[in-house]
Structure 1
Amino acid sequence: MGKISISLLLLILSIVVAVESTSTGRLHPRLPTFVETQCRKTRYPEPCVTFLSNYVNPTSQDPQEIVHAALKVSLVRAIHTKTYIKNVLKEHNKKMKELQNLNLDGQEEFVWHQSNVQTWLSTVLTDAYTCLNGLNSGHSNCGKVKATIKAKVLNVAQVTSNALALFNGFASRYNSSHHG
């Protein structure tokens, strides 16, 4: 349910951004916002604008506010990525615990347990092979998980790089005005 909600939220956000950009871009060219101007100085300007626009007041001209927002975005994205990876590992560990918790007492229950064990082992084996194939080819669910993890880690790197660039620019201007 959570994945569906996040996907739906991202879809709606993408549509709103697309409509906004097409409705404002052609007839009346606008001046870049302060966030856009500051983000041009970073290594990853597009994600910088995308994420910071949600955290910074549109009329703000305060570089400190942008730096604060960039630090917050970096932290939030890192926490989301950590949670995603943790959930993937948790699901895998859950399957393994089910196998470890089997109680094979009694002949009558053995047939039932045998069927469960065979099903669970087959599932784990299939998942393992699917994952191995996905790591090599990128066409399986595991490949999708790997790609998702890679994308999330790349996103954390980008927003953190942007936060560092914005902070360094702010610190440089601050030091120049107070010590120069």
Structure 2
Amino acid sequence: MNIQIPSTFFLFFLSTTLLTTLTTAGNPLPPTSDDTDFIRTSCRTTLYPQTCFTSLSGYSSAVQQDPGRLARVAIGVTLTKVTNMAKYVSNISHQVDNGRSSPRVAAAVHDCYSLFGDAVDDIQGSLRQMRRLNGSGEDLRFQLSNVQTWMSAALTNEETCTDGFEGVADGGVKTDVCGRVVKVKEVTSNALALVNSFADTIQTP
């Protein structure tokens, strides 16, 4: 699915909206060592704990040791990074269209652009669902299963992007794009792991 890449203003708006969503009414309390330790401990369940802690520790006062909030924050942070990556790939696609790369590289870049467009859609769906969670037990698990499905799909799209560069010589566009995608995949994987951890806390009758 092709998307229209957001403008710089939209990215600013997205970041501002994310921060507003994460905080409760009034000024958030300053982070405590327990809040930070909660994020550090939660991140140990992910495949990339250091990346997890580095990207999320700044939100410890908003999370306040709530696994649901932590999962929502992680998805929001991931959405920002994936949107930025989609914009970057869009810019690269214009360069390859100008004949600066081989047709094979150009095709891989265009596929990557489309895949990241789909990933943005998936993560947006996940974040909307996380904001609307309600109920308990099986109802809540069902809602979270939608989030898990969308986040898994986003991760698959990101992995497929790098798969498209197989057979392309290392260096240049391939090294640049794939190197950036690896970092995005890490935060996406971590967000999915934190959603899974949150789902495991839901009690069923």
TM-score by length of 2: 0.46
For residues 74 and 137 of structure 1, what CA distance do their matches in structure 2 show?
Answer: 27
Is 1:169 matched up with 2:185? Answer: no
SS in structure 2 at match of 1:42 = coil
For residues 56 and 157 of structure 1, what CA distance do their matches in structure 2 show?
Answer: 22
Is 1:77 matched up with 2:81? Answer: yes
Partners of 1:52 and 1:70 within 8 A in 2: yes
Partners of 2:52 and 2:187 within 8 A in 1: yes
Partners of 1:56 and 1:69 within 8 A in 2: no
Moved over 4 A (4+): none
For residues 169 and 57 of structure 2, what CA distance do their matches in structure 1 show?
Answer: 38
Partners of 1:70 and 1:163 within 8 A in 2: yes
Q: Aligned-pair distance for 1:41?
A: 0.8
CA radius of gyration, larger in = 1
Structure 1 gap ranges (5+): 3-29, 97-123
Aligned length: 109
Q: In the alignment, what sits opposite 1:46?
A: 50
Q: In the alignment, what sits opposite 2:169?
A: 136
SS in structure 1 at match of 2:201 = helix
For residues 168 and 59 of structure 1, what CA distance do their matches in structure 2 show?
Answer: 17
Q: In the alignment, what sits opposite 1:90?
A: 94
Identity of aligned residues (%): 33
Instruction: Tell me which amino acid in the other structure corresponds to 2:199.
Output: A
Equivalent residues in 2 for 1:104-119, closer than 5 Å: none
Partners of 2:63 and 2:70 within 8 A in 1: no
The CA deviation string for residues 127-180 of structure 1, in whole angstroms up to 9 with x for no partner, is: 65xx8xxx5353xxx2xx322211221122111111111111111102x2xx24
For residues 77 and 60 of structure 2, what CA distance do their matches in structure 1 show?
Answer: 11
Q: Aligned-pair distance for 1:51?
A: 0.8
For residues 92 and 67 of structure 2, what CA distance do their matches in structure 1 show?
Answer: 38
Match of 1:155 among 163, 170, 183: 183
For residues 65 and 40 of structure 1, what CA distance do their matches in structure 2 show?
Answer: 17
The change in CA–CA distance for 1:137 and 1:159 in structure 2 (over 3 A counts) is closer
SS in structure 2 at match of 1:52 = helix
For residues 63 and 180 of structure 2, what CA distance do their matches in structure 1 show?
Answer: 30
CA RMSD of aligned residues (A): 2.7
Structure 2 gap ranges (5+): 1-7, 9-32, 106-167
